[in-house]
Structure 1
Amino acid sequence: MEWFTASDYWLTRLVFQRALAAVYLVAFLTAALQFRPLIGRRGMLPVPRFVERVPFRRAPSLFQWHYSDRFFALCAWAGCAVAAALLAGLDSLLPLWGGMLLWLVPWALYLSIVNVGQTWYSFGWESLLLEVGFLAVFLGNDEVAPPVVVLFLLRWILFRVEFGAGLIKMRGDACWRKLTCLDHHHETQPMPGPLSWFFHHLPRPLHRVEVAANHVTQLVVPFLLFTPQPVATAAASLMIVTQLWLVLSGNFSWLNWITIVLALSVVRFPADPPEVPEAPLWFVVVVLVVATLLVGLSYRPVRNMLSRRQVMNRSFDPIHLVNTYGAFGSVSRVRYEVVVEGTRDDVPRAGSDWREYEFKGKPGDPRRWPRQFAPYHLRLDWLMWFAALSPAYADAWFGTLMERLLENDRDTLKLLRRSPFPPDEPPRYVRARLFRYRYTTWRELRETGACWERTFVREYLPPTRLAGPVHRP
């Protein structure tokens, strides 16, 4: 069975598994802390309402059989516990089949969450975590050397992530071909980080170099992943450096980190492999059957990747086994933000005391500098960015958000940085207004201390109040 395993990659597997467990932990923690106001029983898009109209075959999930906020919390915190156990190396202390079952648990739990998460879980990195997490089940533990075919399939995922993203850029916005997209991207990206202002103000020739280097990393380097070592390690290392550059320049949830984890599966660390027994026949059969299935399912993602009508971040099966990826096929030139305000006045007027709600990550107060949140995912803040692009992105949930603010709903307010109203004094009216934001210049920053300058564009939602008294559960 020497052809089946690659003992030189035992340390690679160890690093990959521990890093993946850390990403799992962040994902489950995000779900546990945010689900009630988003998809809970009184959430903006409640799970019970979703499972009433979507059958199990289209969205397999534990919550198709039973849902309560307490049960969801139990699953999310159980996912945190299992991820922490995997991070600590519990899978190495179990027999091979036990380690595989332990890795299967977070995958099944997170699949259950994603499949009922609706628009709050519609991001490409959700499917990417599930696809990578499924393969991790079949990497084995200390009782067997890493299977070659699983290592190959991990490279195949990394290839599709990078090459697919490169193709969508070349086929999409002309600024990628003109090397000018980064003249705008650092300012208009969904959630800027603490260094994004400085990245935006880099010299424009350096922005051209950034874009050109990105094209090389995404369109050329991925092919080197399938070459012999040490070339494959060098290619993966270049991808890691590129992803770390993106980590510094913005808040992209765990997209960059899961990509780094994938790249680590390619790196061969210099270490003498321990003596391990030969892979048992049942393990070989299971791995080869799963690999054959995944190769067959790759047909549709490959067809999409090569199509002129390529789409981004699409799952082609309900359990997210093989997916298509991509990011920023188009880049906004102007940044818009929805600013939400409330007032205690009985009748809203032009001179009313409107107070602004502050979100954790998205720009609001022009003087408040962006913070680093990634790999933690602020789901409401991300969707507010989409809402600013078009109200159609927020049709399903924005009205409920405003209702919850009028109620001073405790769980909803936990999603925000600060509410301008005391818990026992909710606003009588709320409204939303659309502003154009731009980064200040170096001179403006020195004179005002503000990193943003904003200009009123139009009313997004007129002053609104509750139709009747608030009834709390």
Structure 2
Amino acid sequence: MDWLTAPEWWWGRLILERGVAAVYVLAFVCAARQFRGLIGERGMLPVREYLALRSFRSAPSVFHLYYSDRFFAAVCWTGAALSAAMVVGLADLVPLWAAILLWLLLWAMYLSIVNVGQIWYSFGWESLLLETGLLVAFLGNDEVAPPVLPMWLTRWLLFRVEFGAGLIKMRGDRCWRDLTCLYYHHETQPMPGPLSWFFHRLPRPLHRVEVAGNHFAQLIVPFGLFAPQPIASAAAAIIVVTQFWLVLSGNYAWLNWLTIILAASVIDTSTAAKVFRIAEPTNVPAGQPYWYAALVIAYTAVVVVLSWNPAKNLVSRRQRMNTTFDPLHMVNAYGAFGSITRTRAELILEGTSDTVVSDETVWKEYEFKGKPGNVRRMPRQWSPYHLRLDWLMWFVPLSPAYAQPWLIPLCRGLLTNERGIVKLLRTNPFPDEPPTYVRGLLYRYRFSTARELMSQRVWWQRELIGVYLAPLSLDETRTLRRLFRFG
């Protein structure tokens, strides 16, 4: 059974296990702090209503057995605590079988959350965390040598993440092929970060270099992951550098960090020891028990079979991005930003206490934590933490149908000062009494020029496009909610 072991990948296993555990901590904390307003009993898209229309088979989740906000919170905080324990090495302090069960428990808890999270959990980083989290469950602990098959599956996963993202761009917007997409993207991405203004203001020739470098990193470099060392380590290092560039330029939840963890795990132990000047471990076990080897082989066989659809998707002219092909999210397709918006439109929500709306009505603006609003407020760094409502707000001007299920419930929450919903915002201009009306205005946003930033102290310039959502009262939101649910 020696062919199943890879002691030289001790470093890679360590990086994967501790790194994925850290991301789990973030994911569970993120869920715990935001779920009440998003999917809680008084949230915009309540779990109970969703589960009434879904079977366990189509959306496996422990919440099919029982749901309450307290139980959901207990699952989240238990997951966060267990993940934190795994970060500091709990898996290496328990027997091998117990370590596997602990990782599977984490995966099952987060799968339960994702499968009831609806549109708020519909993005690629959720599937990536679940697929990686399940893979980590079969990496073993310090009792056994790192298993070679799951370590190769790690490279296959990283290849799909990078190559899939590269292909979706080349097949998508023409600006990726003529190297001009970054003329716009730093400004129009879903949630810019504190350095996005500076990235946007780089000279255009450098933007073209950025795009060309991205194509190289995503379309050429991933093949090096399957080459012998040290070529594989060099390929992984290039991916790490490009992902850090993305971390600096915007907020993409934990997508980039998980990709960095996957890439770092490809670097073999001897290379890591030389680069980071650490001692190579001398007590790595050389063998594995037969039951564990059989389990690893069985898991690998399942992944190989389930890889057919993602592999077929890669070569398809109608490639789909961020798609899962099974309710367990075991093997998925990835990719992002196949098309780029050239201008930025933002929905700004406002409220008023006036009982009658007129031209003299005074409106007060709601401000979100991460999405652009106040033009004087510098974009904030939030990733790897993820602001789910802020991210979804970016889609509202692009696709009104995308926001139909939750935009009216959001307005209803503002009109009642629903605590879970209001907590998702940065400011509530009506802390004592809720407004009588809310409305939505659509603005065109652009980054300020350097002169405007220095003279006016504004990071953005905006101009009114028009009314997106006419003034709504509480009674009107209830009527519209019934129409959207049953119409």
Q: Report TM bin, short chain.
A: over 0.9
- For the 8 Å contact 2:169–2:337, the answer to whether it is kept is yes
- For the 8 Å contact 1:44–1:400, the answer to whether it is kept is yes
Instruction: Answer yes or no: is 1:311 the counterpart of 2:331.
Output: no
CA distance, structure 2, for counterparts of residue 272 and residue 377 of structure 1: 36
Deviation at 1:277, TM superposition (A): 5.1
CA 1:413–1:146 in structure 2 vs 1: closer, same or farther (change >3 Å)?
Answer: same
Q: Secondary structure at the match of 1:459?
A: strand
Number of the residue aligned with 1:234? 234
- For the 8 Å contact 1:21–1:86, the answer to whether it is kept is yes
Number of the residue aligned with 2:102? 102
Instruction: Answer yes or no: is 1:419 the counterpart of 2:417.
Output: no
> Unpaired segments of 5 or more residues in structure 1?
none
- For the 8 Å contact 2:409–2:477, the answer to whether it is kept is no
- Relative to the length of structure 2, the TM-score reads 0.95
- Number of aligned residue pairs: give it: 469
CA distance, structure 1, for counterparts of residue 2 and residue 62 of structure 2: 39
CA distance, structure 2, for counterparts of residue 15 and residue 125 of structure 1: 18
Matches within 5 A, 1:83-102: 83-102=83-102
Number of the residue aligned with 1:453? 461
Number of the residue aligned with 1:433? 441
Instruction: Answer yes or no: is 1:330 the counterpart of 2:330.
Output: no
Number of the residue aligned with 1:348? 357
Matches within 5 A, 1:226-265: 226-265=226-265
Deviation at 1:202, TM superposition (A): 0.1
Q: Secondary structure at the match of 1:179?
A: coil
Deviation at 1:469, TM superposition (A): 12
Deviation at 1:43, TM superposition (A): 1.0
Number of the residue aligned with 2:158? 158
Q: Which amino acid aligns with 1:173?
A: D
- For the 8 Å contact 2:100–2:137, the answer to whether it is kept is yes
Number of the residue aligned with 1:44? 44
Q: Secondary structure at the match of 1:461?
A: strand
CA distance, structure 1, for counterparts of residue 47 and residue 91 of structure 2: 32
CA distance, structure 1, for counterparts of residue 371 and residue 465 of structure 2: 18
Instruction: Answer yes or no: is 1:77 the counterpart of 2:77.
Output: yes
| Percent identical | 60
Number of the residue aligned with 1:174? 174
CA distance, structure 1, for counterparts of residue 360 and residue 397 of structure 2: 25
Give 2:379's match in structure 1, choosing from 342, 360, 370. 370
Q: Secondary structure at the match of 1:241?
A: helix
Question: Over residues 155-209 of structure 1, what are the superposed CA-to-partner deviations in whole Å (9 max), with x where a residue is unaligned?
Answer: 0000000000000000000000000000000000000000000000000000000
CA distance, structure 2, for counterparts of residue 374 and residue 350 of structure 1: 40
Deviation at 1:467, TM superposition (A): 1.7
Deviation at 1:421, TM superposition (A): 1.2
Number of the residue aligned with 1:465? 473
Number of the residue aligned with 1:215? 215
Deviation at 1:410, TM superposition (A): 1.3
Number of the residue aligned with 2:307? 298
Number of the residue aligned with 1:380? 389
Deviation at 1:352, TM superposition (A): 1.2
Q: Secondary structure at the match of 1:395?
A: helix
- For the 8 Å contact 2:36–2:69, the answer to whether it is kept is yes
Deviation at 1:2, TM superposition (A): 1.9
Q: Secondary structure at the match of 2:112?
A: helix
CA distance, structure 2, for counterparts of residue 213 and residue 427 of structure 1: 50
- Relative to the length of structure 1, the TM-score reads 0.98
CA distance, structure 2, for counterparts of residue 418 and residue 468 of structure 1: 24
CA distance, structure 1, for counterparts of residue 181 and residue 240 of structure 2: 21
> Unpaired segments of 5 or more residues in structure 2?
274-279, 479-487
Question: Over residues 60-93 of structure 1, what are the superposed CA-to-partner deviations in whole Å (9 max), with x where a residue is unaligned?
Answer: 0001111111110010111101100100100000
Instruction: List structure 1 runs of 4+ shifted beyond 6 angstroms.
Output: none
CA distance, structure 2, for counterparts of residue 409 and residue 275 of structure 1: 54
- For the 8 Å contact 1:10–1:273, the answer to whether it is kept is no
Q: Which amino acid aligns with 1:207?
A: H
